[in-house]
């Protein structure tokens, strides 16, 4: 029987998050997908994120950080507080397998977003992710691991619409706004500017408008309607024929 040194723990098949604090490096052993969920605020239970509820000097050698090390570097011995800082600010080197899985995940998310946001302007139908993937490969568009899928989707949409390697256009939205006129003159003026080529009606008390808008304007319209009017999304993917 081999006795392990005191304070030494052996772990295998782990993802490691590392943080340099002061002159020392600290590590925690995690489930890689759970780290991303923790950073997004989806997962809050540390026991679901960690393979072992401990702070290490070196995970692969099983060397646990001493209380003196933690106090000197973090000015605290509260394990959960220290672990949360390491998970939030630390770096997570990926194995080749983990990197490929992450690339596939980001790529699939990106393709799904593009498929939802774009349509064929002739048929007015969405493209399946597989067709978008083929077009991006022909354009040599490269997915990277350190950018959010949504950011890369917006970049890919610009490349696709500029090249027209397939007939593609950003889907527009059809929305309707109802708002009381009393006290909302400035908001209605701004909404009118955003909702061009609109079908607007009004009474002495209420302003109503239906329009096809660029999705970029949607968030501003939501803010203008907040607490003042009612916003309805009638269609998520339409092409303005004008």
CATH 3.30.1250.10 segments of the chain:
15-89
pLDDT band at 124 (very low <50, low <70, confident <90, very high): confident
Give the pairing of strands 63-64 and 172-180.
unpaired
CA angle 18, 19, 23 (to 5 degrees): 125
Least confident of 55-69, 157-171, 228-242: 228-242
Mean pLDDT of 199-215: 89
Q: Which CATH superfamily is domain 96-169 in?
A: SBDS protein C-terminal domain, subdomain 1 (1.10.10.900)
pLDDT of residue 227: 86
CATH 1.10.10.900 segments of the chain:
96-169
Q: Burial, 162: exposed, middle or buried (Cβ in 10 Å; 0-12, 13-18, 19+)?
A: exposed
pLDDT of residue 4: 41
**Cα(first)–Cα(last) distance of the chain, in Å?**
81
Domain 15-89: give its CATH architecture: 2-Layer Sandwich (3.30)
Q: What is the mean pLDDT of the chain?
A: 87
Q: In this structure, how many other beta carbons lie within 10 angstroms of the beta carbon of residue 232?
A: 11
Mean pLDDT of 87-105: 84
Q: Burial, 192: exposed, middle or buried (Cβ in 10 Å; 0-12, 13-18, 19+)?
A: middle
Mean pLDDT of 157-184: 92
CATH 3.30.70.240 matches 171-238:
yes
């Amino acid at each position: 029987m081999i006795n392990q040194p005191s304070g030494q723990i052996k772990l295998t098949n782990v993802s490691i998050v590392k943080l340099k604090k002061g002159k020392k490096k600290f590590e925690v052993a995690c489930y890689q997908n759970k780290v991303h969920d923790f950073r997004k605020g989806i997962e809050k239970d540390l026991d679901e994120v960690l393979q072992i509820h401990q702070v290490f000097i070196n995970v692969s050698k099983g060397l646990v950080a001493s209380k003196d090390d933690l106090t000197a570097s973090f000015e605290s011995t509260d394990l959960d507080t220290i672990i949360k800082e390491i998970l939030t600010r630390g770096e997570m080197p990926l194995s080749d397998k983990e990197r490929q899985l992450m690339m596939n995940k980001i790529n699939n998310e990106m393709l799904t977003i593009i498929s939802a946001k774009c349509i064929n302007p002739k048929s007015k139908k969405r493209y399946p992710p597989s067709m978008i993937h083929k077009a991006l490969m022909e354009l040599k568009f490269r997915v990277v691991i350190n950018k959010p899928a949504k950011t890369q989707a917006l970049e890919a949409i610009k490349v696709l619409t500029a090249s027209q390697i397939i007939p593609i256009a950003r889907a527009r939205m059809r929305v309707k706004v109802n708002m009381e006129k009393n006290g909302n003159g400035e908001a209605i003026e701004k909404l009118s500017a955003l909702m061009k080529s609109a079908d607007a009606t009004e009474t002495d008390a209420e302003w109503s408008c239906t329009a096809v808008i660029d999705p970029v304007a949607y968030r501003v319209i939501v803010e203008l309607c907040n607490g003042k009017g009612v916003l309805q999304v009638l269609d998520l993917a339409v092409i303005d024929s004008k």
